[in-house]
Amino acid sequence: MSGAAGPASTLGTPSNVGTAGTAGAGLHTRAGNAMGRTRDGLLDGAVASIQRDGLRHLTMSGICIRSGVAKATLYNHFRTKADVLSALVGREVDRVADVAQSAAGGGSLADGLNAAADYVATFAPGRAVAAGEPQALVPLLTAGSGRGWEHARDRASAVLDVDPTDPLVDLVLAWLGSVLMAAPSPVSRRANAELLAAAAAARTREVPTGPSDAGDGGASGASADGRAAVTAGTTGTST
């Protein structure tokens, strides 16, 4: 009895358990990283296929060819073309938001919005689709309530520092959609970025209406003026 207890006790020591746990976690992390790289490679293949053949002619076979992977690998990650497009849009939303947050962190919100617009305006696959088959982008750019739009609103609201339900969030997303479709000039993009940043700043200055501030309507008035100016600026300087 006592002789059998020795090896069992050794296997159960904290140092051995910790080593096994660390090794297991390392394997899990490496596997996850490999899957992430494969997934990104598949999305890159989809981008290459879209640039070459267009969005309407995107096929699972074409993605495999451009990615250099077997169909089984593709279907392990994405079951349908719609799944691929959803993942691709989600990845680009994250990239645009990251660009905006980085630029805003080193400058101003206007800098961040302008950087986001520059990214969108120079996103070659999107611009190719906008030029050759713009109708194919309409479903992707029409505001909705699906998971993809919820994600886009969450990322945009974080950049703007407003609530995801704030109408300004959808206004910014619509503006970026118009940038993708029309690729306005850098001067126009900067002007609209300034307007949208001013509207966001007005949101943070708003004071809740109550007995103590009934006479202070300047903040909410400024916010309303900001929304009007952004709307006018977005439509008036879109080209």
Residue 145: CB partners within 8 Å, gap ≥ 6?
Answer: none
Q: 74 or 148: whose pLDDT is higher? A: 74
State the average pLDDT for the chain: 80
pLDDT for 155 equals 96
Span 189-196, average pLDDT: 98
Look up the pTM and report it.
Answer: 0.71
Instruction: Give me the helices (H) in 122-206, please.
Output: 124-132, 138-141, 147-160, 167-182, 186-205
Q: 142 or 207: whose pLDDT is higher? A: 142
Q: 149 or 18: whose pLDDT is higher? A: 149
Q: Phi/psi zone of residue 204: left (φ > 0), alpha (ψ -120 to 50 degrees), beta?
A: alpha
pLDDT band, residue 60 (cuts 50/70/90): very high
140 pLDDT above the threshold of 70: yes
pLDDT for 142 equals 84
Indicate the range of 13-17, 66-70, 206-210 predicted with least confidence.
13-17
Span 40-62, average pLDDT: 92
pLDDT for 144 equals 82
Rounded-to-integer distance, Cα 179 and Cα 229, Å: 18
Indicate the range of 26-30, 51-55, 172-176 predicted with least confidence.
26-30
Residue spans of the domains in the chain: they are: 17-79, 81-239
Q: 88 or 204: whose pLDDT is higher? A: 88
Tokens of 35: 């899957």
Percent of the chain topping pLDDT 90: 56
Q: Does domain 17-79 have CATH number 1.10.10.60?
A: yes
Rounded-to-integer distance, Cα 56 and Cα 107, Å: 39
pLDDT for 189 equals 98
